[in-house]
């Protein structure tokens, strides 16, 4: 059994690549890279082909997560055929994903932080227009939810 996970935010240069990189490392550390495939996308195509925001890359690197190889892409209809989990960073992106979702999609479509233990947050806040502390908060929330997601997937193996 293999599982495919897609993380989605608006532009795919801050939050979803952070989730992608953090989860990639956790999956690798757990020895599950052959069983869990990971990608990220945005609901908007503004940054198509671009690397993650340099502030995102720097904050992640300080914690040992490499994001520099990732490139932004937009969500596509075929993602609903390919991915078992499509996880939005916030309600607005989740609503956009629901509007694109085919009626026969049988995977899990929901908020990423539903897998976390941070009771004060339902959404991963967008750090793009703020200071460096926003990128640190994103990493805190993402690390927590990624651990919960990995545990949930492992229970299905």
Known catalytic residues? 9, 15, 126
Using only C-alpha atoms, what is the Rg of the chain? 14
Q: What is the DSSP letter of 122?
A: S
Q: Residue 81: enclosing H or E segment and its boundaries?
A: helix 79-82
Structure tokens that stand for 2 in this block = 């293999």
Q: Is 6 left (phi over 0), alpha (psi -120 to 50) or beta?
A: beta
Confirm if 89 and 8 have CB atoms less than 8 A apart: yes
Q: Give the tokens for residue 111.
A: 């908020």
Q: Which residue has the tokens 């502390």?
A: 133
Positive or negative, the CA dihedral 152, 7, 71, 15 is: negative
């Amino acid at each position: 059994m293999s599982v495919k996970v897609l993380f989605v935010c608006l532009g795919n240069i801050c939050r979803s690549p952070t989730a992608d990189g953090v989860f990639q490392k956790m999956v690798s550390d757990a020895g599950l890279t052959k069983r869990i495939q990971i990608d990220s996308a945005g609901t908007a195509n503004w940054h198509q082909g671009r690397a993650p925001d340099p502030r995102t890359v720097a904050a992640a690197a300080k914690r040992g997560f490499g994001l520099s190889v990732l490139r932004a892409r937009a969500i596509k209809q075929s993602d609903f055929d390919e991915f078992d989990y499509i996880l939005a960073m916030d309600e607005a992106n989740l609503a956009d994903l629901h509007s694109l979702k085919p009626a026969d999609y049988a995977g899990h479509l929901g908020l990423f932080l539903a897998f976390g233990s941070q009771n004060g947050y339902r959404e991963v806040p967008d750090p793009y227009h703020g200071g460096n502390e926003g990128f640190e908060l994103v990493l805190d929330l993402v690390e927590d939810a990624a651990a919960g997601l990995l545990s949930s997937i492992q229970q299905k193996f």
